[in-house]
Amino acid sequence: MIRLVLHGELRQYAPGKVLEVRGAGRSVGEVLRAVGVPAEASAAYVVNGEQCEPTTVLREGDEVEVLPAISGGAAEGALAGIRVIDLTRALAGPYCTLMLGDHGADVIKVELPGVGDETREWAPPYINGVSAYYLSINRNKRSVTLDLKHPDGKKVLERLIERADVVVENFSPGTLERLGFPPSRIREIDRRVILCRISGFGQDGPGRAWPAYDLIVQGLGGMMSLTGQPGGMPTMVGVPEADMIAGMFAAFAIAAALHARERTGEGQVIDATMIGGQVALLSRQAARYFADGTVPAPEGNVHASIVPYQTFHAADGYVNVCCGNNALFERMCRALDLEDLLGDARFADNAKRVAHRDALVPAIERRLSELPKNEVVRRLREANVPVGPISDLHEVFTDPVVRHLGLIAEVDHPVAGSVRAPGIPVRMDGTPPSVRRHPPVLGEHTDEVLSESGYTPEEILALRREGVV
């Protein structure tokens, strides 16, 4: 017999969480099929504490834990019934509307006929000829092609806005006005519509006309001045976080505005900026500057006020270790056979450890260099000391915790095939977010959306003949 442990949503397929089943000599996948668990519902498999593949053959007495794939989709998301007109492209705007779509909003992505969102051309890499970059941030949306410079295109947009709750745009400041849709015009069409405008440096003021890309804003916003090794070149964060953070703050502001509309009955205009998101993230470093005028410099992977709290080199890789109090420091020393450090008065409390960093850190480094990183992680986790390896992306996306939390989303695309991307980072038991739609092909839903907006087949055909859609 083997012991089969089903986690989360997988329990719906079998009676109970823990099952005793006959499975010796069969693979994990075969055992799961025998008890009625669909392969697509499972994300990761752990046999006797070690992650494995579904093809792993089991032995008598083995314990198998099975972790579920991404949850959600059965119930309506929190934003179900909210229609979003998405006039964005590149990253900050599409990331905002991605978040809204993941939580159930009907996102209608308006794109230029024949061209579309510029990220459709941001490649390689491609997946079957489709930009991987575009695929990563445009799920849960419907695509409509529309020439907003054409008079009939403007009429189509007006009709879309009439039926919308939210309009999101990230044109260069002033572009929406030149197209004939200043905030006042949008309010005339429907006073309940929320207009969210995303830009690098705001719709007015001295930075209004500056072009903004992630690298530029990371530099101007102070993030790069804090990132990297002491004395080295300022370093950008390894993902386009200035874009993504702007999109996150914009999505949060939209959710807040929707809630306010329930009370006031009125929409409002949101001015979300990339620079605003960067300044908001300065947090403790800004606190240091405001407290005593100190201008923080890059500290590498160490903490100015806590020791040890940094990256260490193990025998075969890197690990992060964080000891924020004396109890953690003591447990770390005992777990790593460094008890001699506990009797050293220089390390008796955090303030002394900070003062004697140059003596303490090399002693820890010498010990960790003797141990594989997985052994360091095992020892410190067993001692309940905060620790983690530095994982590459292969290690991230095969990690049992990442798989268990549904942090890999997979959806079938009509051209690219099966597409995987980072999943939805939160779970909600009442209104679960979900991946319902593949990233759309350019103009895939034009006829569908126009029909919903009251256009007849003949009118849609005329719009196509005129190049409006």
Who's near 343: CB < 8 A, 6+ residues apart? Answer: none
Please give the Cα distance from 227 to 395 (Å, whole number). Answer: 24
* Contact indicator for 442, 143 with CB cutoff of 8 Å: yes
Residue holding tokens 């929409």? 267
Measured in whole angstroms, the distance separating CA 66 from the mean position of its chain's CA atoms is 24
Active-site residue, from 86, 106, 165, 243: 243
Please give the Cα distance from 295 to 103 (Å, whole number). Answer: 40
- Provide the 3-class DSSP secondary structure of residue 87: strand
Within 301-397, strands assigned E span 309-313, 318-322, 387-389
Please give the Cα distance from 190 to 83 (Å, whole number). Answer: 13
Structure tokens at 380: 């410190």
Please give the Cα distance from 388 to 401 (Å, whole number). Answer: 12
* Contact indicator for 68, 9 with CB cutoff of 8 Å: yes
Q: Is 243 a catalytic residue?
A: yes
Closest by Cα among 316, 426, 413 to 373: 316
Phi/psi of residue 186, each to 5°?
-65, -40
DSSP letters along 390-424, please? ---HHHHHT-HHHHHTT-EEEEEETTTEEEEEE--
Closest by Cα among 290, 257, 282 to 272: 257
Please give the Cα distance from 408 to 420 (Å, whole number). Answer: 7
Residue holding tokens 């350019």? 442
Positions annotated as catalytic residues are 243
